[in-house]
Structure 1
């Protein structure tokens, strides 16, 4: 029992450090790793070794992937490709189902672009469609926000799911994570859409129009400021090319060896490795650059991507260090045996991730911390198979979206740019994320009955 008590103390310390003390999650996780080593009585000379090995191991398996995915997202954001993707979806779906259109736009755009940035980029488009079709701005805002949130939480190359997959030993098999993530994300997006449609006919008073200031002002570009927008093919290629290559690589790696074991299969495996696939996606994104000074543009976007990726890399590495300490303790055996007897299986990572998300606000921190914590227990929980690990990533993701409220930056982005009152946002946006998380977890549990 004392093993669980120590774990509870460590989780409480992480939450307290990141919320009340405003300590960066990197330092909070690193401190938890050291404190955990002392409390679990890991030999003193081994504590630093396990921490550095855990940090380096996760960086080696997933660090470059996070950086490349972030750079692709920055290029798509800055070149107007996200606007082109939105326009293409509107042309495809037409004007009959405005909230569905916004949900699908969010679902696709947030695969490479952070949901916060995606919402800001698409805000003016959402407002224009709502006005043109005379539908509730609240409904359109929730539909867009929940569509963005779905793939942001479940589908690589978004950093959170990538980091969780890396912690759980799936760094070289992201294809399966992507395929399952797309399905689970679609169900949660539909759940968010259902909640958004409740507000279609409601007349809810809004705040005064928001004035963009500070770092968000640059993101509030009009179509004219983007100049000539890229074509649909150019805009979608940096997203779908790496996903297709990764999925092909996963198929080639199936135990049945559908492509054999010759040179052709090896080439496909090489191209399907997440690092190579995302490098191909980044190269295709370079064709989105326009005008003079393309080299400088590319340099600036890469620099911005590196700046955005750095905190995620540090948090992910610290999560790996924390997980490495937990792996060398008897905690995994004890909790695994106890939870197996209770029969809660996949619900354990969901509950821990949801508790962390609700307490400290960051989905990425919840995914990284929970995946590091759960990794040593997979065998005892009966989740040590390839599909078991994938579904564990999904369960952690479902918890990581439950719930978005005042300590989450995305909550404030949605609230301010949608001109919602805070009380309205709690009812519309926070409840929507609660529904998404619960529906997502039920979907994952149903999948586990079939796939495990």
Structure 2
């Protein structure tokens, strides 16, 4: 119990330091990492290495993706392509339900793409649509984030769900996992979108929020200032080409190896890596440059993108450091072993995954760890059938999204790109993931009553 109280105290410190005392999240997270390390009794000689490794590991995974995505976003913004994309999507889907439009886009994109990467890639589109339809960027950010988050935790070939399915012996039945996952994730996405609608009149209150408000107020003038806007095809190519490549790479890597194991597989597997796919997206953004000296303009856009990406990288890395400290403690094992003995059927894997997710921040880690932990005991709690295993993957996925907060890199990506303060992000994004997880596990429970 002392472990849980210590973790709660550290999280309270993060919230108070960033909200009441306005301490920068980067420094707050580093201080929280040190406080947690000493409070949990980690060996002093290992603390600095754990923090540095956690910082480096998360940036090694998402850092270059953030940089390239931000540069592409800068080019899309400065060229007017983001406005073209917003106009095109609105024309196709309509203006009546802006958050639904954003949620659908996120839901589709995050099947092959990590939600962190998806939010970075789609941020310019989200902001342009918010300005174009005069809707709060907070609501649009939460709708996009929860749409991305839904398929990220439920639908293979995202790594977390596919690893969980493998741990439960479902590697040859991924089609069933995908089918059920699409249903559960759709309901979770709708729940997140409905929560986002609570913020339709709420504007961001974090650093840089005034800039977003000014953009919204002057959107018509901004659109006119670009002159002739680029075509829809040229505008969407830098975003959709990487998404398609990542999707094809994920399909190629499925256990069934639909493209074989020879040349086609090698090419798709290489091009489908997020870094390589985004480099191609960056190349496709070059025709959007307008000046006569395109090399100089391109260099300037890279500089603009690097400046915009720097604080996001630092805060995301600090979040990774905090998560690494938590992972190095015994709290995950303690919560998992304690909760797994409660004997509450389909809710047991949900609670274990939710505890692990909330404690250490990574949905993928929660999915993998929980599935490995509960696999031997499924027959004893009435989930030994094939469908029982599938629904267990869904219950674990619901837990793995409950909740996204200060030790989750996705929380900081959403918060910083959306210009929300930490307290506002807790009310909007963190609460939305709690709603999504609870709604999803209730649906899984109902399915278990019908199918088992």
Any idea what SS the aligned residue of 1:14 has?
helix
CA distance in 2, matches of 1:380, 1:23: 35
Q: Deviations over 1:9-56 (max 9, x none)?
A: 221221222112222222122112222222222221111122212222
Any idea what SS the aligned residue of 2:133 has?
helix
2:132 maps to 1:125: yes
**2:174 matched to which residue of 1?**
none
Any idea what SS the aligned residue of 2:58 has?
helix
Q: Choose the corresponding residue for 1:152, options 145, 152, 156.
A: 145
Q: Deviation at 1:263?
A: 2.6
CA distance in 1, matches of 2:29, 2:197: 40
CA distance in 2, matches of 1:197, 1:19: 24
Indicate conservation of the 8 Å contact 1:106/1:146, yes or no. no
TM-score between both structures, scaled by the size of structure 1: 0.65
Any idea what SS the aligned residue of 1:258 has?
coil
Q: Deviation at 1:271?
A: 0.3
**1:279 matched to which residue of 2?**
279
Gaps of 5+ in 1: 128-140, 157-164, 171-178, 205-211, 357-368, 414-424
Q: What are the residue-to-residue correspondences of 1:175-186 with 2, within 5 Å?
A: none
**2:326 matched to which residue of 1?**
326
**1:173 matched to which residue of 2?**
none
Indicate conservation of the 8 Å contact 2:100/2:193, yes or no. yes
Q: 1:247 to 1:118 in 2, by over 3 A?
A: closer
Q: What are the residue-to-residue correspondences of 1:27-426 with 2, within 5 Å?
A: 27-93=27-93, 98-100=95-97, 103-104=100-101, 108=105, 121-122=128-129, 125-126=132-133, 141=135, 146-155=139-148, 187=187, 190-191=190-191, 217=214, 220-221=218-219, 222-342=222-342, 343=347, 345-346=349-350, 370-371=361-362, 375=365, 379-380=369-370, 399-400=403-404
CA distance in 1, matches of 2:69, 2:395: 22
Q: Deviations over 1:301-359 (max 9, x none)?
A: 222222222222112222222222222322221011123335454457768989x9xxx
Q: Deviation at 1:392?
A: 7.0
Gaps of 5+ in 2: 110-117, 150-157, 164-178, 202-208, 376-389, 406-410
Any idea what SS the aligned residue of 1:99 has?
coil
CA distance in 1, matches of 2:199, 2:40: 51
Indicate conservation of the 8 Å contact 1:346/1:392, yes or no. yes
CA distance in 2, matches of 1:182, 1:235: 29
**1:13 matched to which residue of 2?**
13
Q: Deviations over 1:237-269 (max 9, x none)?
A: 122111111111111111222222223211111
CA distance in 2, matches of 1:242, 1:283: 11
CA distance in 1, matches of 2:336, 2:314: 28
Give the superposed CA RMSD. 4.9
Indicate conservation of the 8 Å contact 1:181/1:394, yes or no. no
**1:363 matched to which residue of 2?**
none
User: Which 10-residue stretch deviates more, 246-255 or 72-81?
Assistant: 72-81
Q: 1:188 to 1:115 in 2, by over 3 A?
A: farther
Q: 1:280 to 1:347 in 2, by over 3 A?
A: farther
Q: Deviation at 1:155?
A: 3.0
CA distance in 1, matches of 2:305, 2:416: 19
Indicate conservation of the 8 Å contact 2:188/2:437, yes or no. yes
Indicate conservation of the 8 Å contact 2:29/2:322, yes or no. yes
**1:442 matched to which residue of 2?**
439
CA distance in 1, matches of 2:159, 2:256: 24
Indicate conservation of the 8 Å contact 2:69/2:121, yes or no. no
Any idea what SS the aligned residue of 2:97 has?
helix
Q: Deviation at 1:231?
A: 1.0
Q: 1:249 to 1:317 in 2, by over 3 A?
A: same
**1:416 matched to which residue of 2?**
none
Indicate conservation of the 8 Å contact 2:246/2:274, yes or no. yes
Count of matched residue positions in the alignment of Structure 1 and Structure 2? 375
Q: Deviation at 1:227?
A: 1.1
